[in-house]
Amino acid sequence: MIGEDDEPEGLTPAEAFRHAKVEHFLGHVREYVDMGRYLAGLKALDTVFGLAPSNEEGKLLKGTIDDLVAHILKRTTNGKREKADGTQARPRRSDLVMIVDQDERLLTSLTGTLRRYGFMAVAASSYDEALETFSTFRPEVVISEVNFETGPKGFDLYLWLKTSPGNQDVPFLFLATRIDRETLIAGKRFGVDDLIMKPVDDDVVIASVINCISRRRSSQIRA
């Protein structure tokens, strides 16, 4: 899609380089939307608009992300509805699942699987991005890699979540390429809800997510 100064014919070398950079970042934004990394997508669009303020595809992608974020926030934060008699009706919303993993192919695949099963999904590729995502979204379940290549580990994210006000009861699932004895013991001691082996089996993940949500709702009803 062609936007401001995006016509490649007749460009100077500097304009052609700018055009290539715009296309590069637009490609990232499209991938971020597929992954559910909406905050990362908005940051990439800032770069796009810094290079081409009137880029049409960038505007369309921003509109798409804004609509998706608004839809998620509406379904997850405005869940309480009043009946005609003034009592609270049961909220209508899809459940939001957050995925944290450095493998972008896994994020795209798992986000797509969750959406096909009727869930909403957001994603992050690092501990820091996960914390930033938590500042905007309130997921029903978190699925995270155990060991990131750099930075804090999955257990650090788990401990942050369990000590963060309002998030202590959010179910937490770990993904791991290898679940050795130490990882299993640590997970059990910390109270992790489930550990799932990679490569991921979609049916196993969906079954675990459904089970966690069911248990959480049952405990909330009893409380």
What total of structural domains would you count in the chain?
A: 2
Residues 199 and 128 placed together within one structural domain of the fold: yes
CATH number at residue 128: 3.40.50.2300
Highest mean pLDDT: which range of 121-125, 165-169, 213-217: 121-125
**pLDDT over 70 percentage in the chain:** 87
Note whether 116 and 97 are within 8 A (CB). Answer: no
| Spatial distance between the Cα atoms of 167 and 222, rounded to a whole number of angstroms | 18
| Spatial distance between the Cα atoms of 190 and 159, rounded to a whole number of angstroms | 8
Tell me if 184 is assigned to some domain.
yes
Tell me if 3 is assigned to some domain.
no
Per the listing, tokens 């992790």 go with: 192
Tell me if 27 is assigned to some domain.
yes
Residues 42 and 123 placed together within one structural domain of the fold: no
Task: Among 73, 106, 122, give the residue marking a domain's end.
Answer: 73
Q: How many CA atoms lie within 13 A of 133 on its CB side?
A: 27
**pLDDT over 90 percentage in the chain:** 61
Report pLDDT for 77: 67
Strands (E) across the chain are located at 81-82, 88-89, 96-100, 120-124, 141-145, 172-176, 194-197
Report pLDDT for 7: 53
Min mean pLDDT across 161-170, 180-189, 190-199 is at: 180-189
Q: Is the pLDDT of residue 180 over 60?
A: yes
Residues 183 and 99 placed together within one structural domain of the fold: yes
Torsions phi, psi of 33, nearest 5? -65, -45
Calculate Rg over the CA atoms of the chain. Answer: 20
Q: Is the pLDDT of residue 178 over 70?
A: yes
5 vs 21, residue with greater confidence: 21
Residues 113 and 22 placed together within one structural domain of the fold: no
Per the listing, tokens 């997921």 go with: 139
Is the preceding omega at residue 199 within 30 degrees of 0, hence cis? Answer: yes
**Residues whose CB is less than 8 angstroms from the CB of residue 132 and which lie 6 or more positions away in sequence, other chains included:** 39, 124
Q: Is the pLDDT of residue 149 over 70?
A: yes
8 vs 89, residue with greater confidence: 8
The 8-class DSSP code of residue 177 comes to S
Q: Is the pLDDT of residue 206 over 90?
A: yes
Torsions phi, psi of 62, nearest 5? -65, -40
Report pLDDT for 195: 84
> What is the per-residue pLDDT across 108-135, written as a single tens digit (0 to 9) for each?
999 999 999 999 999 999 999 999 999 9
Residues 215 and 112 placed together within one structural domain of the fold: yes
Owning domain of residue 25:
13-73
Q: Is the pLDDT of residue 213 over 50?
A: yes
Q: Is the pLDDT of residue 4 over 50?
A: no
Q: Are strands 172-176 and 81-82 parallel, antiparallel or unpaired?
A: unpaired
Q: Is the pLDDT of residue 91 over 60?
A: no
